């Protein structure tokens, strides 16, 4: 089968053996997949991963234990836990130290014609959600993780820092939850897009110091955390949604003085993400920069790496 593989070098393989589902796993024909910043980081050596890239996908199950999932259109959670360790017993499967992660840690990903996942990771996609929308379920679930971790009440004053893909999703989720949410970014075109999605946008300098109960940092830069510490009010919360490379972290004294809670936030629940897409409460099709066939996968990865690029989608099979 065709697959976009990284093993120190990014390349399109045309005759890779189809994956064989392990016990409890389904074999899924991939319809479409999304290129994430993590995929780009992996091609720079992040996580030391070698194999098929890709963790944001929608596909059709071709083979499943007992056939229960056969023919269903699905998306899949990316963490595959051991289900027997201390963390798994506590229900924290996403933190299982023995886990594999689709296209990121020890498990071939979805930039291929076929992928396998445990059936417990699968979620059926309702017919009202298009393939392109479904590709956004995984990153949108990561945005919904904020609501799992922090209580957001109607009219809470929230700032999202960063107008990239995740910032545009997180701001929509928070606005839909009833927060008075403002998106801060640097790219005029993306701020315009945010406004067309009904979001309030602002310059960081226009927001009063220590005026927001919740600040969500989606910038992926140390400057984002610095900015967040400036805007968060005493006893407020900062949610960090993106990893920052490098170790030139800011001085954390304001976190102590203002008794700020800092919350790290990663993968999230799929069900509310699917529901929001099905009900049109979050818009994602506007976030698609371009779509490519898998044969043009290298070109697609290059397009995704353009500074400020929105979501690049791979159309893999029909
Ligand atoms: Zn991702
Ligand atoms: Zn475990």
> Is 70 exceeded by the pLDDT of residue 245?
no
For position 46, what pLDDT does the model report?
81
Instruction: State the distance from the centre of ligand 2 to the C-alpha of 117, rounded, in angstroms.
Output: 16
For position 120, what pLDDT does the model report?
96
Ligand nearest to the CA of 266: 1
What's 3-40 look like in SS3?
A: EEEECCCEEEECCCCCCCCCCCEEEEEEEEEEECHHHH
For position 23, what pLDDT does the model report?
95
Indicate the pTM of the whole model: 0.95
Residue 297, helix vs strand vs coil: helix
Residues of the chain with pLDDT > 90: what percent? 91
Instruction: State the distance from the centre of ligand 2 to the C-alpha of 200, rounded, in angstroms.
Output: 41
Instruction: State the distance from the centre of ligand 1 to the C-alpha of 57, rounded, in angstroms.
Output: 10
Q: Which residue has the higher pLDDT, 187 or 87?
A: 87
Q: What is the pLDDT of residues 153-180, one digit of tens each?
A: 998 999 999 999 999 999 999 999 999 9
For position 205, what pLDDT does the model report?
87
For position 318, what pLDDT does the model report?
85
For position 47, what pLDDT does the model report?
83
Q: What confidence tier does 246 reach under pLDDT thresholds 50, 70, 90? A: low
Instruction: State the distance from the centre of ligand 2 to the C-alpha of 182, rounded, in angstroms.
Output: 38
Mean pLDDT, range 272-299, rounded to an integer: 98
For position 204, what pLDDT does the model report?
86
Instruction: State the distance from the centre of ligand 1 to the C-alpha of 235, rounded, in angstroms.
Output: 31
Mean pLDDT, range 141-163, rounded to an integer: 96
Give strand pairing partners of 114.
29
Q: What is the pLDDT of residues 98-108, one digit of tens each?
A: 999 999 999 99
Which two structure tokens, joined as six digits, stand for 109? 């990903």
In sequence order, the 6+-apart residues with CB closer than 8 A to the CB of 301 are 4, 10, 35, 39, 40, 43, 312
Q: What's the distance, Cα to Cα, between the start and end of the chain in Å?
A: 15
Q: Cα separation of 243 and 252, whole Å? A: 17
> Is 70 exceeded by the pLDDT of residue 243?
yes
Instruction: State the distance from the centre of ligand 2 to the C-alpha of 220, rounded, in angstroms.
Output: 28
Q: Which residue has the tokens 């963490």?
A: 79
Buried b (16+ CB within 10 A) or exposed e, 160-173: bbbbbbbbbbbbbb
Ligand nearest to the CA of 82: 2
Mean pLDDT of the chain: 95
For position 161, what pLDDT does the model report?
97
In sequence order, the 6+-apart residues with CB closer than 8 A to the CB of 92 are none
> Is 70 exceeded by the pLDDT of residue 85?
yes
Give strand pairing partners of 106.
101
Mean pLDDT, range 250-267, rounded to an integer: 93
- Most confident range, picked from 102-116, 196-210, 245-259: 102-116
Instruction: State the distance from the centre of ligand 2 to the C-alpha of 78, rounded, in angstroms.
Output: 14
> Is 80 exceeded by the pLDDT of residue 247?
no
Q: Cα separation of 189 and 209, whole Å? A: 26
| Tally of CB atoms within 10 A around 235 | 10
Q: What is the pLDDT of residues 18-65, one digit of tens each?
A: 999 999 999 999 999 999 999 999 999 888 899 999 999 999 999 999
Q: What is the pLDDT of residues 7-29, one digit of tens each?
A: 999 999 999 999 999 999 999 99
């Amino acid at each position: 089968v065709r697959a976009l593989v990284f093993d120190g070098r990014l390349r399109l393989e045309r005759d890779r053996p189809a994956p064989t589902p392990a016990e409890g796993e389904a074999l899924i024909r991939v319809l479409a997949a999304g290129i994430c910043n993590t995929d780009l980081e992996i091609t720079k050596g992040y996580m030391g991963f070698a194999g098929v890239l890709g963790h944001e996908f929608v596909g059709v199950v071709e083979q499943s234990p007992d056939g229960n999932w056969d023919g269903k259109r699905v998306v899949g959670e990316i963490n595959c836990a051991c289900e027997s360790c201390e963390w798994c017993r506590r229900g924290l499967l996403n933190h299982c130290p023995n886990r594999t992660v689709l296209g990121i840690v020890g498990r071939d990903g979805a930039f291929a014609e076929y992928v396998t996942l445990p059936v417990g990771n699968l979620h059926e996609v309702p017919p009202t959600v298009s393939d392109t929308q479904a590709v956004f379920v995984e990153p949108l679930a990561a945005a919904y993780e904020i609501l799992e971790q922090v209580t957001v009440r109607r009219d809470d004053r929230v700032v999202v820092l960063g107008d990239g893909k995740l910032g545009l999703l997180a701001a929509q989720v928070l606005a839909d939850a009833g927060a008075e949410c403002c998106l801060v970014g640097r790219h005029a075109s993306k701020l315009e897009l945010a406004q067309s999605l009904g979001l309030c946008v602002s310059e960081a300098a226009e927001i009063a110091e220590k005026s927001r109960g919740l600040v969500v940092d989606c910038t992926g830069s140390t400057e984002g955390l610095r900015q967040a510490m400036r805007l968060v009010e005493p006893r407020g919360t900062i949610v960090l949604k993106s990893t920052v490379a490098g170790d030139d972290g800011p001085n954390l004294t304001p976190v102590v003085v203002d008794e700020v809670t800092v919350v790290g936030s990663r993968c999230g629940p799929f069900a509310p993400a699917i529901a929001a897409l099905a009900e049109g409460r979050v818009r994602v099709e506007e976030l698609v920069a371009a779509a490519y066939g898998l044969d043009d996968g290298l070109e697609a990865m290059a397009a995704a790496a353009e500074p400020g690029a929105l979501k690049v989608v791979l159309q893999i099979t029909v």
